[in-house]
Amino acid sequence: MALAKRIIPCLDVTAGRVVKGINFLELRDAGDPVEIARRYDEQGADELTFLDITASSDNRGLILNIIEQVASQVFIPLTVGGGVREVEDVRRLLNAGADKVSINTSAVLNPQLVADASGHFGSQCIVVAIDAKQVGDHWEVFTHGGRNATGIDAIEWAKKMVALGAGELLVTSMDRDGTKVGFNLALNRAISDAVDVPIIASGGAGNLVHLVEGVQEGGADAVLAASIFHYGEYTVRQAKEYMRECGIEVRL
Partner 1 sequence: MIDIAVVDYGMGNLRSVSKALEHVATDKKVVVTSNPQDIAEAERVVFPGQGAMPDCVRELDSRGLREAVIAAAASKPFLGICIGLQLLFDHSEEGNADGLGIFAGQVKRFSAVDMHDVQGHKLKVPHMGWNEVYQSQSHPLWAGIENGERFYYVHSYYVAPQETALVAGYSEYPKRFTSVVAKDNIFAVQFHPEKSQHAGLKLLSNFVQWNGHS
Report the interface residues with partner 1, using CB under 8 A. 1-6, 41, 46, 71-72, 75-77, 94-99, 120-125, 167-168, 192-193, 196-199, 219, 221-222, 251
C-alpha to C-alpha distance for 184 and 138, rounded to whole angstroms: 13
Are 204 and 173 contacting, i.e. CB atoms less than 8 angstroms apart?
yes
The minimum distance between CB 74 and partner 1, in angstroms, equals 8
Residue with smaller CB distance to partner 1, 28 or 251: 251
Judged by DSSP in three states, 138 sits in strand
CB nearer to partner 1: give 14 or 192.
Answer: 192
Q: Name the 3-class secondary structure at 118.
A: helix
DSSP H helices in the chain: 33-43, 57-71, 87-96, 105-109, 112-121, 154-164, 185-194, 208-216, 227-230, 236-245
Distance of alpha carbon 85 from its chain centroid, rounded? 17
In the chain the first and final C-alpha atoms are separated, in Å, by 13
Query: 46, 131, 177, 221: which is the annotated catalytic residue?
Result: 131
Instruction: Please say whether the beta carbons of 211 and 223 come within 8 A.
Output: yes
CB of 49 to partner 1, least distance (A): 14
Least CB distance to partner 1 at residue 137 (A): 25
12 is catalytic: yes
Q: Choose the catalytic residue: 12, 46, 89, 221.
A: 12
By beta-carbon proximity to partner 1, the closer residue of 47 and 131 is: 47
Q: Rank residues 72 and 112 by Cβ distance to partner 1 and give the closer one.
A: 72
Q: How far is the CB of 55 from partner 1 (least distance, A)?
A: 21
Contact 114, 129 (CB under 8 A): no
Q: Greatest CA span in the chain, whole angstroms? A: 46
Annotated catalytic residue 29: no
Q: Which is nearer to partner 1, 33 or 165 (CB)?
A: 165
Nearer CB in complex with partner 1: 27/76 = 76
Dihedral over Cα of 94, 68, 15, 32: its sign? positive
Measured from the CB of residue 179, what is the shortest distance to partner 1 in angstroms? 27
Instruction: Please state the closest distance from residue 240 (CB atom) to partner 1, in A.
Output: 11
Torsion sign, CA atoms 159, 124, 103, 135: positive
Question: Annotated catalytic sites, by residue?
Answer: 12, 131
